[in-house]
Amino acid sequence: MRRPPSALHRREHRYPARAAEAVNEPNGNRMLMYETPRTGDDATPGDQPAASSPAVQALAAREVKDERVRRGLRRVAGISASLVGSQALTSVLGLLFWTLAARTFKTSAVGVAGAAVSMMMLLGSLGSLGLGTLLIAKLPTTDLGQRRVLVRTCLLAAGSAGFLLALIVPSIAIHAFGADNFRPIAGSLPTLIGLAIGTGLMSVVLVLDQAVLTIGFGALQLERNITASTVKIVALFVLSQFLTPEAGAVGAGSSRAGLSSGMVIFLAWTIGNLLSLPIVALRTRGGRIHQDSRRLVQPSLMRGLGRSAISHHALNTTLQAALQILPILVTLMVSSQENAFFNSALMVCGFVFALPYSISIGLFASAGGKESDVLARMRLTIPFSLVVSIAAYLFLFPMAGTVLGIFGSSYAAEGVDVLRILALAGIPFVIKDHFVALRRVQGRTTAAVAVLSGFLVVEVVAAVLGASLGGTIGLCVGWLIVLFIEAAILAVPLWQGWRAATMASDSDHQTLDVLEDLAGQRADQPLSLTELTASASSAGVASPLLTGSITEVTDLLGDLDRTDAVKQPIVAGRPPTPGPSATESTVRSPSRWPGRLTRIGQANLFGPLILVMSIGVAVMAVAADGSRSAGSTGRYQALWVLGQVLIFLPAVIRIVLSRTGNGERTALALGVGVMFQLSRRMLYPLHFSYFDELLHATTLGQIEQSNHLFALNTLLPVSGYYPGLEVATDAVTSVTGLSALNAATVLLVIARVISMLAIIGLIRAVSGSTRAGAIAAVLYLCNSQFLFFNSQYSYQSLALPLAVFTAYAFLVRSRGSRTALVLPLAGLAGVTVVHHLTAMLLVAACATWLAIEALIGGRPPSPATNSRHRRRGRLSQLLAGPAAPRITGDPAADAPRTRQTRHRQDIVGLVVMTVTGAAMSVLAALNPGNPVGGYLRAIFVNFGNGASGLADGDSAKPLFSDSAGSGPALWEQVLLIGSVLIAMAALIIALAYAWSSLRSRQAFGLVLALLALVYPIVPAGHLTLATAEVGDRAAGFAFLGLAAAVAWWLSHRRIDWRGATAVGVIATVAFLGGVVLGAGPTARQLPGPYLISADARSIDADNLAAAQFLATLPADSPVYADRIGGLLAAADGRQVTVRHLSSGIDASPLLLNANFTAGDVDLIRKAGLAYLIVDTRISAGLPHLDVYIETGEYEGRTRTAPVSPLALEKFANVPGVDRIYDNGSVVIYDLRRLSDGS
């Protein structure tokens, strides 16, 4: 708590004479006369003057401190007034300058000048290199004798940088990128050099303006700006008379020199800047007497400042970036006309925003690098700035129209709401700017840049979202919401800092009381400060006076020279070991970069990284949005990939790092999985859109309609007999009331969480390392089926997680307990009900595990393992790593008897699992009507035929091309090949893992390694059409082993940032390439215009409208349609789509044969077709996914040209057939009379 002022008065009353020793300095500042106790031989208590008593010192210290706060506030006010005044006056004079230019020169010349000045401002700002802000920080601590040379050196550096930038950037723009619009300002040598000189000067004055703030010449900045603005107006007037082409001979001379009229205006601006510099030299000439070097510049003074300058520069740029990006966003997303209104409103708001910014700069500049001063002054500057910002807003709200009327009536009409919203931003800016001031003075600019950069991204994302939803107003609202959230977040460190300062202050007051009391008790016998310190310590007083660092003590006592302070006896009063403050001070030192990075690295970064991931999801949403409206162009493809990288790469790096906490690792792995699952909803958020999704949506619809299971789904008959996914979805819809799509999304997210946690738990159980588990989980995402196939609404998406869970539950079961196998068996049963193939593979895995366990599990680990391991060479160690530990961490497990018991328990458990699992699969297959046997047989026979055909020399499917002749772009092919090569390289690690597991008698590890060795099927499967599906499906299983092996290898290594980044980049390539392998080109992953037989890209408003019409017809009527039309007819239209797979009738000639034949009539009658759905667009090209309708369709194996349009129109002329629906793309025929034979 702050001490009431009466306390001070009381003390002053008690010690009037001593308090009165505070005297006035000649310059008006009060200064305290005091002496510190001496400990030398010549110093005896009796020699001490009364004023040197510690109590008086403490009193005086507080006097000085209070005075410093007052004095500091005056400086803040002075600097802020100077900055605000500068901005206001230069704006007015700038208006005058441009008005004069507009009235004197042609519009085109003014346009050229405007562009040149804008470029000069931009490049000048970049060229300043942050040295202005750096000087604010450094000058107060720079020796007086070196200050001027340091400033000059910085000015030279900034000027040179600005000059060079202005030479290089426009030249590149013109000559490399053909930006001919820049030719008038930099096309000829004279104009280019003129631009470079002007820009260099601009960099110089930008640095100078900030430097003069900190050396106590706040008004000097104002003076210089007024001088520059006035001179440039005069110069413009003079030049307009003599140097324009219209001005006779002299003007002609300027033309010969290559100067256009526009550059004459620019020249006037530069002259203004140039002639303002002598003012500064003149007003600061007094400082020359302190100069101890006659050198003009001294580059060595800049040594070590580069990083700090860059940091300040980045902070400045980050602060300004949003205001510079927003107008561009308005232009891009709304219109350039809207931007005119927006820009005007923003310009007006600039005056509102200028105040908190100026105050924060003033705060920083006046603090002289002392954090305590900034915090003390913030108590006044924050409320003051808030009040002024609110007052400005209250003024602008009713006056918005009037103010904007200056620009024109249309501005007043259209921009008023924008201005009213934008002006509110002044309030959060107060907090944001103060936060920046605090961080600057703390020397934590890099941390501030990191924080503000993150916020900047969120601001831009919110603005983009807002703009897409509500135009300019939406953009302003979105940006403003984030600004207020930022303010709320950034207020916390300000509050904490203020609170800490207050507590320190209270502590000081407490110290003063103790010192007073002690001094009062022993007034006749003054104590040394050391004694007082010890006494105060024993009284339980903690204060920087007693325990703080030297800096803090000197801060408290006033403007002591630090060198002297070191000599004070107070040093002797400090504890012999460095106190916490000293330690913290050391850690916070700006020069301790590695320490700070270490601290950041050791912190839990889950929060920031989950924010980055969410931004990745938002970027994917923006990509999908743009792709819907403008087609999946390169820009949106790049955004889509960027979103994936944002989700994946940072998390992988963090998880792989050795020093990351396990809790954070687990959370991050979970976060990545869930974020990718959520990203699916960004593509098609309104309906099920993929082939398998629509199949299962049909089954779900059947359950909802009939309230019972095991109905026939004609599109995929087997799915109705494995309804676990649909049952769980139905449960969610029933007990939550959510729609089917939302319930499916919830269920898939749950499945994803189970999947990630189960992999982490499983690998942890095998390896004994959570790090290995998290690495395996995140590497598992590299499988080609992860992002699309295994995250869609399909039974495998739930079955795989449950299968991994089953293995986990078996591994961690309580051996010996009667209920040990309940959970694994429940998981196995669940998998059996969800997906046939996964259940069978799980049983097969159990059988393999059983066999391996029976063969090697009972034997002790190879006795040679350890000794051989020690003898291994570096390469083999690198490959194999240390032997994996046993399943449990129980040390007793190594005992032979325990091992035998465990072996027996595992054997029995695996026998039960295998037998029960097999029985359950058989039972499910025996369910009447279940076609699983034939279904799987067909798949594997097809696979076998494809593989044997390939072996016999049949031509392989063309690589990088689908059946329509389109394929991935070159960069996608590179990623794909990279992904396969990385996975193949990982197989070497899998072999090492297998060897290690074998030697350590770890049966399940060997099962995982064997699973990894299945991987070659994945890329090889893509060589033929017949094997592609099996190859794709195998990825979900093979990658479990592959990820486990690589995780095992990585988890035994110490990996720093460099290593983690390398792993992250490699994994990202594998991930991105895997996505292309599994889901096709990025252009097809994104939504966009209709494509023929291309899964989700074939679903559009036209065929959805046709499906909706079908829903108005009698339900469960047999219909026939192409691949997607049939799916939609069943899922949305509630009809029964006839397919060869379920009926044995190949009705494809109805759609694909150009002639109407008697065979067609037979097919219609045999299938009892009621309606025929014809999408006339399919004749425009070949199908992307091999078939128009289904495998084995009419002329499917020999097709080289698109289906004939005649085939799609033939029913228009068939007697007895009505066309009952037409939407331009899809027509529907009523075949009922033909089918009935009537």
Residues 779-808 that bind other proteins (CB under 8 A): 798, 801-802, 805, 808
Which of the 8 DSSP states describes residue 1230? E
Compose the 166-195 pattern: x for residues touching other proteins by CB under 8 A, - for all others: ------------------------------
> Judged by CB, which is closer to other proteins: 320, or 496?
496
1122 sits in the region (left: phi over 0; alpha: psi -120 to 50; else beta) called: beta
- Cα–Cα distances (Å) from 228 to 97, 197, 198, 347, in that order, read 11, 16, 13, 22
Angle between helices 261-283 and 107-127 (to 10 degrees): 40
Beta pairing partners, 1137 = 1119
The CA-based dihedral angle spanning residues 146, 152, 157, 160, taken in that order and rounded to the nearest 10 degrees: -160
Beta bridge partners of 1136: 1118
3-state helix, strand, coil in the chain (%, to 5): 75, 0, 25
Q: Which is nearer to other proteins, 662 or 898 (CB)?
A: 662
545 near 58, Cβ under 8 Å? yes
When the beta carbons of 557 and 1099 are compared against other proteins, the nearer one is 1099
Q: Which of 608, 858, 885, 1059 touches other proteins (CB under 8 A)? A: 608
Which of 5, 178, 594, 1224 lies at the binding interface for other proteins (CB under 8 A)? 1224
C-beta of 1084: minimal distance to other proteins in Å?
A: 17
Strand residue runs (E) in 701-753: none
Q: Determine if 431 is a binding residue for other proteins (CB under 8 A).
A: no
**Residue 928 binding other proteins, by CB under 8 A:** no
> Minimum distance between the CB of residue 748 and other proteins, rounded to whole angstroms?
11
Please report, as residue ranges, which positions from 819 to 878 form the binding site for other proteins (by CB under 8 A): 823, 826-827, 829-830, 833-834
Count the alpha carbons within 13 Å of 922 in the hemisphere toward its beta carbon: 6
Binding to other proteins (CB under 8 A) within 692-751 occurs at: 703, 706-710, 723-724, 727-728, 730-732, 734-738, 747, 750-751
CB of 599 to other proteins, least distance (A): 11
Q: How far is the CB of 294 from other proteins (least distance, A)?
A: 50
Q: Pick from 1091, 1101, 1107: which is nearest to 1185 by CA?
A: 1091
233 versus 751: smaller Cβ distance to other proteins:
751
Quick one: which of 156, 386, 1161, 1202 contacts other proteins (CB under 8 A)? 1161
Judged by CB under 8 A, the chain residues 649 through 668 that form the site for other proteins are: 660-664, 666
Considering only 309, 809, 1070, 1083, the residue that binds other proteins (CB under 8 A) is: 809
Q: DSSP state, 605?
A: -
Q: Look up residue 1213 and give its amino acid.
A: N
Show the binding pattern over residues 1168-1207: x = contacts other proteins (CB under 8 A), - = does not.
----------------------------------------
Among 1101, 1111, 1115, 1180, binds other proteins (CB under 8 A): 1101
Maximum Cα–Cα distance across the chain: 132
Supply the minimum distance, in Å, between the C-beta of residue 767 and other proteins: 10
Which listed range, 13-21, 66-74, 207-215, 1105-1113, lies at the site for other proteins (CB under 8 A)?
1105-1113
Please count the residues of the chain: 1238
Q: Can residue 320 be called a binding residue for other proteins (CB under 8 A)?
A: no
- Out of 483, 553, 757, 1010, the only residue in the binding site for other proteins (CB under 8 A) is 757
Beta bridge partners of 1120: 1172
Q: Is 1137 helix (H, G, I), strand (E, B) or coil?
A: strand
- Spell 950-963 as b/e; 16+ CB within 10 A means b: beeeeeebeebebb
Residue from 257, 1014, 1104, 1145 in contact with other proteins (CB under 8 A): 1104
Residue with Cβ nearer other proteins (748 or 1026): 748
Kindly list the distances between the CA atom of residue 370 and the CA atoms of 70, 373, 543, 546, in Å, as whole numbers in the listed order.
Answer: 15, 5, 18, 19
Tokens describing residue 100: 């004069």
Return the closest-CA partner of residue 763 out of 955, 565, 1027, 1051: 1051
* Contact by Cβ (8 Å): 445, 312: yes
Report the residue number, 558 or 827, with the smaller CB distance to other proteins.
Answer: 827
Q: 896-925 vs 795-811: helix axis angle to the nearest 10?
A: 150
Closest CA to 938 of 633, 716, 1154: 716
Min CB(428)–other proteins separation in Å: 15
Which of these ranges, 50-58, 63-71, 328-336, 765-773, lies near other proteins under the rule CB under 8 A?
765-773
**138 phi and psi, to 5 degrees?**
-95, -30
Total of residues contacting other proteins (CB under 8 A):
118
Identify residues 616-635 at the interface with other proteins (CB under 8 A). Answer: 617-618, 620-622, 624-625, 628-629
Q: Which of 598, 604, 866, 948 binds other proteins (CB under 8 A)?
A: 604
Near other proteins by CB under 8 A: residue from 588, 681, 1140, 1166 = 681
* Residue 1215 is a binding residue for other proteins (CB under 8 A): yes
Report, in Å, the least distance between residue 326 CB and other proteins: 17
| Contact between 993 and 1008 (Cβ < 8 Å) | yes
Supply 193's token pair. 């050099």
Least spacing, CB of residue 1224 vs other proteins, in Å: 5
Closest to 1137 (Cα-Cα) out of 723, 690, 713: 713
Pick 293 or 496: Cβ nearer other proteins: 496
Interacting positions 492-511 with other proteins (CB under 8 A): 492
Based on CB atoms, which residue is closest to other proteins, 194 or 830?
A: 830
Does residue 485 belong to the site contacting other proteins (CB under 8 A)?
yes
Residue nearer to other proteins on the CB measure, 152 or 1052: 1052
The rounded distance, in Å, linking the Cα atoms of 601 and 607 is 13
The region of 201-209, 649-657, 767-775, 1090-1098 touching other proteins under the rule CB under 8 A is 767-775
Residue closer to other proteins, measured from CB, 315 or 683 = 683
Q: Counting contacts by CB under 8 A, is residue 641 touching other proteins?
A: no
Minimum CB distance to other proteins, residue 1196 (Å): 21
CB of 1152 vs other proteins, minimal distance in Å: 14
Q: Which residue has the tokens 């994936």?
A: 644
> Which residue(s) pair with 24 in the sheet?
30
- Hey, which residues between 1137 and 1156 contact other proteins (CB under 8 A)? 1155-1156
Cβ distance to other proteins smaller for residue 909 or 1074 = 909
CB closer to other proteins out of 225 and 468: 468
DSSP labels, 44-55: -GGGS-GGGSHH
Specify burial of residue 539 (Cβ count, 10 A radius: 0-12, 13-18, 19+).
middle
With beta carbons less than 8 A apart as the criterion, state whether 1005 and 884 touch: yes
**Window 1060-1099: residues binding other proteins (CB under 8 A):** 1087
**3-state SS, residue 978:** helix
Residue 458 makes contact with other proteins by CB under 8 A: yes
- The Cα–Cα gap between 699 and 683 comes to 23
Quote the distance between the C-alpha of residue 1179 and its chain's center: 44
Report DSSP letters for 867-884, one per residue.
HHHHH--HHHHHHH-SPP
With binding defined as CB under 8 A, does residue 599 bind other proteins? no
- Using DSSP, state whether 538 is helix, strand or coil: helix
With contacts defined by CB under 8 A, name the span among 368-376, 389-397, 603-611, 853-861 that binds other proteins: 603-611
Determine if 684 is a binding residue for other proteins (CB under 8 A).
yes
Amino acid symbol at 1054: R
Enumerate residues 6+ apart whose C-beta is below 8 A from 1216.
1233, 1234, 1238
Minimum CB distance to other proteins smaller for 336 or for 1155: 1155
Binding range to other proteins, per CB under 8 A, among 683-691, 781-789, 1127-1135, 1195-1203: 683-691
